[in-house]
């Protein structure tokens, strides 16, 4: 009985289009929902480390003091947990097949240092927030006294 199934499968494969392609020279269509690989927009990343904590294979590492975010592509299983858990939505899944590689490497991104203008704007914004909070507190105290 098994030989009939094998013969049927063999005849069908002779007259149909092959399932494989010459990858990476040719690529197949990308099915909907293909996970692909994790990409990080390092400019919006706050290096909180939630993606590192939630990664089931420990493929992501975050060093906040150095401003470094890295991923080991060979350990990543493209589950998408880090993308779902990111509070700033700076992680995305690129729906593309990963490139073949013969060497094991870790992709590392470094957060750029903010310029002097950006630092000054951030300090001014912080001072404005503190001033507004102090004014609101004073207004509540005045209202409570009356």
Are residues 78 and 125 located together in one domain of the fold? no
Per-residue pLDDT, 25? 79
Per-residue pLDDT, 14? 83
- Is 11 part of a structural domain of the chain? no
Largest CA distance in the chain: 96
Per-residue pLDDT, 13? 81
- Is 10 part of a structural domain of the chain? no
Burial tier of 68 (Cβ tally within 10 Å: 0-12, 13-18, 19+): middle
- Is 108 part of a structural domain of the chain? yes
- Is 38 part of a structural domain of the chain? yes
Phi, psi dihedral angles at 80 (to 5 degrees): 85, 5
Spell out the per-residue pLDDT of the chain, length 146, in tens: 567 788 888 888 888 887 777 777 777 777 777 778 899 999 899 999 999 999 999 999 999 999 999 999 889 998 989 999 999 999 998 887 767 778 888 889 898 887 788 888 888 999 999 999 999 988 888 888 87
Specify whether the CB–CB gap between 132 and 65 falls below 8 A: no
- Is 1 part of a structural domain of the chain? no
- Is 40 part of a structural domain of the chain? yes
Per-residue pLDDT, 51? 94
- The domain of 136 spans 116-146
Predicted model pTM: 0.63
Are residues 140 and 87 located together in one domain of the fold? no
Strand (E) or helix (H) holding 29: none
Edge-to-edge strand list for the sheet holding 60-63: 60-63, 68-72, 106-110
Q: What is the CATH number of the domain that holds 46?
A: 3.30.70.3270
Specify whether the CB–CB gap between 44 and 17 falls below 8 A: no
- How many structural domains is the chain composed of? 2
| Block residue for tokens 């939505």 | 89
Are residues 60 and 126 located together in one domain of the fold? no
| Block residue for tokens 């996970």 | 35
């Amino acid at each position: 009985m098994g030989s009939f199934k094998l013969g049927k499968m063999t005849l069908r494969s002779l007259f149909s289009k092959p399932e494989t392609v010459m990858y990476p020279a040719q690529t197949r269509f990308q099915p909907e929902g293909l996970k692909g690989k994790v990409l990080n927009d390092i400019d919006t990343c706050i290096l909180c480390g939630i993606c590192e904590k939630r990664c089931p294979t420990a493929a992501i590492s975050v060093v906040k003091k150095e401003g470094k975010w890295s991923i080991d592509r060979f350990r990543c299983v493209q589950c998408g947990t880090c993308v779902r858990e990111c509070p700033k939505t700076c992680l995305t899944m690129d729906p593309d097949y990963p490139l073949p590689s013969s060497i094991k490497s870790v992709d590392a991104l470094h957060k750029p240092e903010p310029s002097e203008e950006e630092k000054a704007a951030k300090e001014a914004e912080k001072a404005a927030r503190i001033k507004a909070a102090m004014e609101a507190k004073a207004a509540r105290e005045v209202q409570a006294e009356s």
